[in-house]
Structure 1
């Protein structure tokens, strides 16, 4: 099989200084003669980067949005309005809820720039995910509704959503991940891992019975204390993960510790990074 994952946009610039970067993430996944866009950053600048990288987005087959935060879905409207593509959208059914952050004084909107009406008006074929595991193509899985099995991964107290006109702590029951089967194990693409990256990976292993080769994306350890980072690393070791391309919301402290623990198994995934799997 041939699998290519291109980071169209991420927080950090890579060696190609002509690419745009922003707080957000977007991946182009090419596998099984299919093109999958996973997340769309916050602005839509991933579209320009794709052109610079020689990647054509006009024949995208599927768009997968990991959860309803602006830095993962903000570019979707621009993609729909500017790129001619007959694609199918996969988005969790709960991801249209209004999302906010709270700094003990003010609520700040963090949600999507589009709604269900926008999808209908633009004739976007959509599958609103509710399944625990959904195979969207041969060996390509969406996982959702994660089991919360760890004691050290708690919901972040700064994130809220509106429920019945009240602000309540965000449970992030809208988050999904993508997993691709390879001869060497699963390649896992993460958005932000708000339910806890270990909760998510344990759920994946339980439901598929497969080992994990590579994880790429965000792990939201940016505000994690030392105990959570330590336990996360110990769980990564127990899972025998071979490669870590995690960044975005992972945080500098956690990324430094991952580099120290895993050496060449870890790389800082930046805008323009390309991963190849060919077996």
Structure 2
């Protein structure tokens, strides 16, 4: 299993571009997956640098509706209709980033954007766990079972926030977008869905200072899980990222990084 970060807040070296957001190319067995697309065409440009043929993708999946994770779909290079897996709420991601939550009155341009996405892609809207390839799961709505996690974005309950999980010989690999539903909630759900213990957790952990995340409790939870590989990236405050690196001893990846499992 290989994961190339097509977009992330920081670059891994000078060959790559970065912007606030997330996108990953996942090569799992014989299935090629694009998970999130960031805000612009950065994911496409980094794929070109990495010599990745985006046209060979079997499926695209969105982690949630926020535009820094899926507005990049508007810049897609596909000539055929790729399968796009998302929670029913997630297509609202392509709105202006300041229009949140999406349940308020929407601007007229939303109709045009939704029409484009539904015209360009084979949209599969699911709220339950969905095995889109053997051993590969779109987790759907994440149960809020961990008491120390808020599981929301300010006052938005974020029912659409989800992640991907993969069965491997060494255990479950979880790839997250932003983890508004709670990184420990996501991992607990991933273990239930895959029937495996955690081997690796990669992606946005949403441990951001203004929201006063339960950092101590999160660290203790991951310690108790004994996860061999922990790689938090997007939406982790710098001081919290530094603490996680001290606690778990990893080199932080960035846009362009290749993670091999």
Q: Does TM, normalized by the shorter one, top 0.5?
A: yes
The answer to whether residue 218 in structure 2 is matched with residue 232 in structure 1 is yes
1:89 maps to what in 2?
84
Aligned mate of 2:35, from 28, 33, 38: 38
Q: 1:157 to 1:226 in 2, by over 3 A?
A: closer
1:241 maps to what in 2?
227
2:257 maps to what in 1?
273
Root-mean-square deviation over aligned CA pairs: 2.4
Q: Which runs of 5+ in 1 are unaligned?
A: 102-106, 159-168
The answer to whether the Cα contact below 8 Å between 2:172 and 2:191 also exists between their aligned partners in 1 is no
- Deviation per CA, 1:197-233, whole angstroms, max 9, x where unpaired? 1111112223332111111110100126777101001
3-state SS of paired residue (1:21): coil
Is the deviation greater in 231-240 or in 142-151? 142-151
The answer to whether the Cα contact below 8 Å between 1:27 and 1:39 also exists between their aligned partners in 2 is yes
1:6 maps to what in 2?
4
Distance 1:98 1:48 in 2: 21
Give the structure-2-normalised TM-score: 0.89
3-state SS of paired residue (1:58): helix
CA deviation after TM superposition for structure 1 residue 22, in Å: 0.3
- Deviation per CA, 1:122-161, whole angstroms, max 9, x where unpaired? 3x11110121x21110110111221111222115564xxx
Distance 1:18 1:145 in 2: 36
CA deviation after TM superposition for structure 1 residue 108, in Å: 2.2
The answer to whether residue 207 in structure 2 is matched with residue 209 in structure 1 is no
Which has more strand, going by share of residues? 1
- Deviation per CA, 1:33-64, whole angstroms, max 9, x where unpaired? 22100000111211011111111111111000
Distance 1:248 1:39 in 2: 12
1:148 maps to what in 2?
144
Give the structure-1-normalised TM-score: 0.83
- Figure out how many residues of one structure are paired with residues of the other and give that number: 253
Q: Which runs of 5+ in 2 are unaligned?
A: 103-108
The answer to whether the Cα contact below 8 Å between 2:67 and 2:93 also exists between their aligned partners in 1 is no
Correspondence 1:85-234 to 2 at 5 A: 85-97=80-92, 108-109=98-99, 115-122=113-120, 124-131=121-128, 133-155=129-151, 158=154, 169-223=155-209, 228-234=214-220
The answer to whether the Cα contact below 8 Å between 1:9 and 1:24 also exists between their aligned partners in 2 is yes
The answer to whether residue 53 in structure 2 is matched with residue 63 in structure 1 is no
Which has more helix, going by share of residues? 2
3-state SS of paired residue (2:39): coil
Distance 2:119 2:153 in 1: 35
